[in-house]
Structure 1
């Protein structure tokens, strides 16, 4: 039939074209030189994004599409639809060879060869036109796309001839059923609805296989003029019903596709749509607060070359490729995270408060939960008027739909801790934690060469704890101790250690490596910090975060997905020692309020920035690492000095973390962490020289020669002669490299002699001989007489007393 149709059309077009003024001797050659074959491309289909339910089944989060289409097979379409299309559009579909000669001659005779619709265009010809339109719409370049669309839809004879030739070629390659099926899957049904399955779901809320005669006829009526006859617009319903009742149903009856009874029943049925809007866009995942995670997944597709050579190609593939994307999101954890955030941080408040919770699984990098205190919306009108909505993902980097990050405060100290341990220091090392002004020239930086000037720093709350172990400094988050630790390290290497843990600025700029950065002035995304702590829990191996487990194309084939890359950040022994120190944070330290106290081993670190603008708690078990940030999105309101719904703002991070992880731990549990070796926990103990009576210079030499750092503690009251060393803190022994604070005597103290058993006069002589003035002596009891003896002194023998001022009480008793 196709061959006969070709011959007949070739002969037919000469007089038809002659009417238009085209020379007859050109017409045959024109037709014969047209292309004869068109290959249907993959249809644009919607992409679905799934999370995982507690039973392991997929849960649809959202669908993203340019064309709402769900391609179906022959047996998934009601026979009423097929019959309605053939009866209305092309009654001789199964008997012609791509061109209905009778209809085409009739159209040509009426000088209407270029018209569309049932007059001359067969189903095969309409399918060709839809294929050409689909090809045009897939072109990335806007100008090329518009030109191709114009070429595919223009009402000219040469376009109609090309359509005829291609329809004939199509019928040579495909069966009639395949052509009809392709037509029903590609056809537009108004707006963004394409294909019979999506049309059935959208307009009537049923699958294509379940459409009634009346419903099928109403949908086929739309094909004739998709945007004029679509029935989701009430004003179109009368015209749709007229087309259904006057054209489609009578044609089905005439062609014996339905009985008179079926016809009568359908005619009596009003067009009553049941509009079921498709799940489109990430805002549909807001029911479990997963809109931002969904948006993160779309950003991964846009950014990763695995999905195409450039961003435009990747995004088009995403919206049209019919991907089935199965993500790492755990619905149970996501709901627990949503509940914990919603219970503590309002979506909108007196100031622009923000919060984020992200969980990463150690060892896999899988992102299991991602929540913030806003509803996701990409609509500028919504976000401009609703302070509880946002398009900015607080959890991720700017390049992945996020903000430019937030200062992480003391959570960043773990990278100084890591560098401290891997360079041979220990948790038992002693560091001066008192506030002070630091000489910036003493901070080594092999990247930049260092800085000059001074840096005056205080501890949170103004504390001055003196000499503390690194373990204690970590639990109490002592700023000065960590800065003095950094003085013994290389600032460049601290930065490189952080980078080994996957840490980077959210805005894409390089990490800072100034001394202040030790205290967390870099602006980093919560997802990045969760990934870093997951590496600590994973025995020092960092696994880059991943959100996609697998992707299937529209044919069910597996596509490559971006993998997690796992690399060692520190040795396992170093990670174990880090965990040991960070356990102290949640067991009586600054993060004790975050501990759910459920028996699952965990560690963590608090972080609070200047003016309490940003507050953090990041921690982990062996199974889950979670970062919680609560802070100012815009502005600087002190959370610690602000009440949020009756709760102290500085405590909200702890309430969220403990509540959420308590629930999460019931599902994932957790094991004991490995133990570190003694050299990293306690260090190598070295004897501290006895410095008493030395000059300060001699003491400095003795301390440094023994492998310690010397710290001048200044002048104190002492029994040693003025100007000589009284002693040190610590004394006895300490780990090599510890800071030994040396104190110089002011010579103001005297040591009380032992005068017990002496007579009062003998006691006075001994006391004054020790440098204590007689007017400092106060007798409790007789100061002379026969048989009177001293029984005690206060202060006691060997204890110090300030010369010239303090009183020495001497207790006597008659014998």
Structure 2
């Protein structure tokens, strides 16, 4: 864990007694909105439900009527209605024009297309997305509660604050083919006489299917090749994967990524000034100007890239397993067109 603040309760620039990496229950700040780094949870659910990475989505829809029933089996009526802020229905937009069209599911994830995520969600049970999220240990870093994925904004990482430690652990399960381990800070305990003491073993559990994890790795590997984080690849072809995340007006930015042996969550954003944009600010001695837009690939992505280039090779950098035909093509055997 690392952060660019000074540990001090005294007044002064960058002074803090918070650990921004962990939950409030651990003495931390409790996390931040994670933006599009939450999107792999919907995609993992899409694969877990038997759909394929190469299935075609109709990602043209940006608005659903106020009485639209989103399947949600954990709710009393079995569905969720989202009237929107003005009672005229639920509405979204993509970050960039030109993507409101038909596309493959994996393309929608690695290019971070909002309409693709909701096209998947409309075909899924919102509560199933929550079950996958909970299995991966994702929770509100302030309240400690699981993410309520029947709140539609949650699918874009906008409803709760989540800590970097939580996101790194969740993504480590993708890297580890669905097996997730509890974080452990201690490697060794030795007293002044040189006596070494036993420490608890790491607790690990298979939380999602191997083939689902393989499918997520397949898509997120493309993020660093031709997707939203293409400029942040770390010279490990077929062995690295990541997802960018940017909240509204660039108030919080993320890059969460991994190799087989190392998962790292990188966050750059606001703590005390939650609604302040990063655009136009001086960050690390650099200032964005003109039409430059701060997103997850900018500063958060840059520090993720620098760290992983230095450290990733100390751990397993083997290539990810190829996804099965079932994961690529879905139950119906659909395939990517021409």
Aligning the two structures, in what range does the TM-score lie when normalised by the shorter sequence? 0.7 to 0.9
What is the deviation of 1:551?
Answer: 3.4
Higher relative helix content: 1
User: Could you tell me the TM-score, scaled by structure 2's length?
Assistant: 0.86
Counterpart-to-counterpart distance in 2, 1:579 and 1:662: 19
Contact 1:600 1:621 in 2 (8 A): no
Q: Which residue of 1 aligns with 2:286?
A: 646
Does residue 681 in structure 1 map to residue 317 in structure 2? no
Q: Is the CA contact 2:44–2:216 (under 8 Å) kept in the aligned structure 1?
A: yes
From 307, 318, 321, the equivalent of 1:671 is 318
Runs of 5+ unmatched residues, structure 1? 1-369, 687-733, 737-815
Is 1:413 aligned to residue 39 of structure 2?
A: yes
Q: CA deviation at 1:647?
A: 4.3
Distance in 1 (CA, whole Å) between partners of 2:114 and 2:39 is 9
Superposition CA RMSD, Å: 2.3
Distance 1:420 1:681 in 2: 12
Deviations along 1:306-356, one digit per CA (max 9) or x if unpaired, are xxxxxxxxxxxxxxxxxxxxxxxxxxxxxxxxxxxxxxxxxxxxxxxxxxx
Q: 1:468 to 1:642 in 2, by over 3 A?
A: farther
Q: Deviations over 1:513-546 (max 9, x none)?
A: 2121111122100011001111100011111111
SS for the counterpart of 2:184 is coil
How far apart are residue 679 of structure 1 and its match? 1.8
Task: Report what 1:198 is aligned to.
Answer: none
2:227 corresponding residue in structure 1: 589
Q: Distance in 2 between matches of 1:390 and 1:551?
A: 28
Equivalent position to 1:637, from 273, 276, 299: 276
How much has 1:463 moved relative to structure 2?
A: 4.1
CA distance in 2 between partners of 1:494 and 1:666 (Å):
33
**CA–CA distance in 2 between the matches of 1:666 and 1:557?**
29
Is residue 478 from structure 1 mapped to residue 113 from structure 2 by the alignment?
yes
Residue 566 (str. 1) matches residue 204 (str. 2)? yes
User: CA 1:452–1:659 in structure 2 vs 1: closer, same or farther (change >3 Å)?
Assistant: closer
- Please say if 1:371 is aligned against 2:2: yes
Query: Does the Cα contact within 8 Å between 1:552 and 1:559 map onto a contact in 2?
Result: no
For 1:553 and 1:666, locate their aligned partners in 2 and report how far apart those are by CA, in whole Å. 31
Equivalent position to 1:659, from 302, 306, 309: 306
Instruction: Say which one has the larger Rg.
Output: 1
Q: CA deviation at 1:462?
A: 4.2
Q: Confirm whether residue 466 of structure 1 aligns to residue 113 of structure 2.
A: no
Picking from 137, 141, 145, the partner of 1:509 is 145
Q: Which among 507, 512, 518 is matched to residue 155 of structure 2?
A: 518
Which of 548, 564, 582 does residue 186 from structure 2 map onto?
548
* Unmatched segments (≥5 aa) in structure 2: 84-88, 289-293
1:391 corresponds to: 17
Q: Which residues in structure 2 correspond to 1:124-143 (within 5 Å)? A: none
1:619 to 257, 276, 284: 257
Structure 1 residue 684, shift from structure 2 partner: 5.3
Are residue 531 (structure 1) and residue 166 (structure 2) matched? no
* Pair 1:487 & 2:122 matched: yes
**What TM-score does the superposition give when structure 1 sets the normalisation length?**
0.37
- 1:84-128 per-position Cα deviation (integer Å, ceiling 9, x unaligned): xxxxxxxxxxxxxxxxxxxxxxxxxxxxxxxxxxxxxxxxxxxxx
- Give runs of ≥4 in structure 1 deviating > 6 Å: none
CA 437–599 in structure 1, closer or farther in 2 if over 3 Å, else same? closer
Larger RCO (alpha carbons 8 Å, 6+ apart)? 2
Give distance in 1, aligned partners of 2:98 and 2:161. Answer: 26
Counterparts in 2 of 1:538 and 1:457: CA distance versus 1, 3 Å: same
